[in-house]
């Protein structure tokens, strides 16, 4: 990993950690998030996965349009650091621990 990649990764990590902590207090059932990125094209390849505790919590969040708000909040926070998601609706995914557990 190049020095510039480490700097970008650190920025992404800090921003998404702040977003995660805010969202945990606002969205019932939301637990954590993670991300993946290819540093050769950050704006098009950065994907964020928001994890919920159950299918029921995720369905409820989607029904209340909370997932749209969560994606927008992450995209806006990243944009303030000059990281612009090409298509945040497609780059933000929502899943549950139930599926992985």
Quick: pLDDT tens for 55-64: 999 999 999 9
- Give residue 99's pLDDT: 59
Pick the residue with more confidence: 59 or 88?
Answer: 59
**Mean pLDDT to the nearest integer, 44-53:** 97
Residues, the chain: 101
Contacts of 83 (CB under 8 A, 6+ apart): 8, 11, 12, 15, 42, 43, 46
Is the CB of residue 48 less than 8 Å from the CB of residue 33?
yes
Mean pLDDT of the residues in the chain: 94
- Give residue 32's pLDDT: 98
Whether residue 100 has pLDDT greater than 90:
no
CA dihedral (88, 34, 15, 60) positive or negative: positive
Whether residue 98 has pLDDT greater than 80:
no
Contacts of 45 (CB under 8 A, 6+ apart): 36, 37, 38
Local confidence band at 16 (pLDDT 50, 70, 90 cut-offs):
very high
**Mean pLDDT to the nearest integer, 24-30:** 96
């Amino acid at each position: 990993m190049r020095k510039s990649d480490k700097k970008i990764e650190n920025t992404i990590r800090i921003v998404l950690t702040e977003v995660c902590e805010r969202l945990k207090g606002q969205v019932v059932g939301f637990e954590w998030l993670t991300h993946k990125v290819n540093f050769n094209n950050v704006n098009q390849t950065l994907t964020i996965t928001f994890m919920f505790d159950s299918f029921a919590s995720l369905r409820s969040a989607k029904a209340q349009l909370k997932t749209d708000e969560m994606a927008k909040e992450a995209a806006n926070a990243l944009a303030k650091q000059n990281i612009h998601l090409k298509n945040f609706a497609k780059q933000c995914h929502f899943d549950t621990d139930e599926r992985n557990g």
